[in-house]
A and B are shown apart, each in its own frame.
Chain A
Amino acid sequence: MSALATISKLSITYNASAGAALGPLDFDIVEGEKLAVIGESGSGKSTLALAIAGLLPTGTRIDGTIAWPGLAAADDGDRDGKRVPENGRDIGFVFQEAAASLDPVMPVGRQIAEVVRTHRRLGWRAACREAEAMLRRVRLPDPTAAMNAYPHQLSGGQKQRVAIAAAVAAGPRLLIADEATSALDTIVQAEIVMLIRRLVEENGMTLLFVSHDIALAAQLADRIAVFHDGEMVELGETAQVIGQPRHAYTRSLLAAHIGLDTEPLLGRAS
């Protein structure tokens, strides 16, 4: 069980007067695991996701380091063992609002194809074939027609499938899903979670799943990290965190959750 990424003393500050929004944090992301990051609004979980992906706005102060031993090891010929991950190629990112993550004036097929073209250095025709294959993998109805569809012609769940396809198209090692299901209807939510789980297992990816829904995490994750007010209050195996939570905040999260709906839906959706 080697580490894909090692986070040491990571601290993020947006606004100097407001203090650190996140951290300091020390933990590893284990290769091949599904790690859920749970917390409420303002807990810093999205900040963590953006920081790992290197997508924080310019001017944000970042202290500490994120090392990627897992990436360096896989690259032969990499002399000093250090590598900075490339967006798209090493890390795939899925955003909360699928509609906002797609260009409204470009057909969705082309948006997936350009990812393939950038990272796998294929021509447009080959890239489009790959894009259609990706649309089939994410179970979009009628992938051939969908290639030329515009985002506004698709439903919320379909748009998110496209966004996931674009995120995964270049075969990244790590997939970060930042509240990827939070804006969807409940049944569609379950479908998308199933889709993510299947893709992660098929490709052998590591998954970082950010959410406010601890029950959803419980069904999907190997480990759960609980965040509160910019700090990680708990990190452990799912069974342990759910069954015997150590921190008071985790206990209150679990108590607040009603817990009737998730399992039957997840089972029905696959």
Chain B
Amino acid sequence: MSRALLLLRRRLVGSIFVLAIVVAGTFLLLEASPGDAVDAYIASTGGDAGMIELLRQRWGLDQSALTRLANYVWALGHLDLGLSVAFSRPIRDVILERLPNTLLLMGSATALSFALGTALGIVAGARPGSFGDRALSIGSLALYAVPGFWLGLVLIIVFAVDLRWLPVGGIETVASARTGLARAADIAVHLVLPVAALGFIYLALYLRMMRAGMAEVWRMDFILAARARGLPRRRIVLAHVARNALLPPVTMLGLQSAQMLGGSVVIESVFAVPGLGRLAQEAVGARDTPLLMGIILTSAVLVLAINLAVDIAYAFLDPRVGADEAAA
């Protein structure tokens, strides 16, 4: 247990540094964007030079860059991400509204890709070089080459348009006023295609990692020793080879979270899912840079949290991690 806590403490300190750099970076990008929040506000609402001056003073935008950075960080400390120009609402509220949908989409896609990918990887890796192995290998490579948004469109064509089994988009049937279990089921049906589009690509990744890992573990001496002890093949494959080969894919889970967040932008756009990714696209369209920066900050925090969780899970899976520190 102490091993996990030591790891947690060390990672938290590192994460704070990383977050500080991200905050500085987003501030710089905000500075670099042409015009500031006032310009965008005036552009949509209208007003004269006096109004501009007044707003600049009120929003503290007429002060030096360093002061503005300090204000920015201070506001962040209070979880105040500023005002969205496009929605005329606090950015924090807009993001919190959309975040659950993205989390649901990402979580389901990750679960699907990891579970199915590693399972198929075990199947392929149980008999290396067999026909099934080679077929899965080439198939997964082809799948990994598919652009996620295009896969989404193809799935829509096949399942929503031609077969009419599943809805074309959205997260639930509009104005249906369902509650409880019925609503959950409705949302689940709407999420099938987006989760499939997002998940299948990464499924290929986990499949290949698991398969490669199994091939590597098979060659290790303790597997020969397990055979020498007369253990049944199935036990060797599952309890020893797969169990050891599982470690790299688990590490990948953390690393993939950033990529999957990025992928959710296009998938949410294709399927009209009202999530964080779609919000980013809307922010770009409306030239709402503060909102975009807020989304980037939120994503960074999300990725850091996921990586931390994965690292701790990994420490439980691999007893060798952090052993020297805990003993010291």
Contact = CB atoms under 8 A, between A and B. Distances in A.
Q: Which bracket fits the contact residues of B?
A: 20 to 34
A88 B221 contact: no
A118 B235 contact: yes
Contacts of B319: 104-105, 150, 152
A119 interface: yes
B11 interface: no
Contacts of A166: 225, 229
A105 B222 CA distance: 11
B222 A102 contact: yes
B228 A55 contact: yes
B320 interface: yes
Contact of A115 (B230, B244, B247, B320): B230
Contacts, number: 80
A19 B247 CA distance: 41
B243 interface: yes
Contacts of B243: 103, 105-106
Contact of A88 (B230, B320, B323): B230
Nearest to A149: B319
Interface stretch (A65-73, A93-101, A218-226): A93-101
Contacts of A118: 229-232, 235
A153 to B, nearest CB: 8
Given A95-B221, A118-B235, A87 B229 contact: yes
Contacts of B235: 114, 118
B289 to A, nearest CB: 48
Interface string A206-231: 00000000000000000000000000
Given A105-B319, A106-B243, A114-B235, A88 B229 contact: yes
A88 to B, nearest CB: 3
Interface centre among B230, B235, B247, B323 (most CB of A within 10 A): B230
B222 A93 contact: no
Contact of B228 (A93, A100, A150): A93
B229 A106 contact: no
Interface string B221-262: 110111111111001000110011001000000000000000
Contacts of A103: 222, 226, 240, 243-244
Given A95-B221, A100-B221, A102-B222, A167 B320 contact: no
Contact of B225 (A93, A106, A119): A93
A89 B228 CA distance: 10
Interface in A156-188: 163, 166-167, 170
B93 interface: no
Interface of A: 53, 55, 86-89, 91-93, 95, 97, 100-106, 114-115, 118-119, 150, 152-153, 163, 166-167, 170
Interface of B: 220-222, 224-232, 235, 239-240, 243-244, 247, 317-320, 323
12 contacts: A55-B228, A87-B229, A88-B228, A91-B228, A93-B229, A95-B221, A104-B319, A114-B235, A150-B319, A152-B323, A166-B225, A167-B229
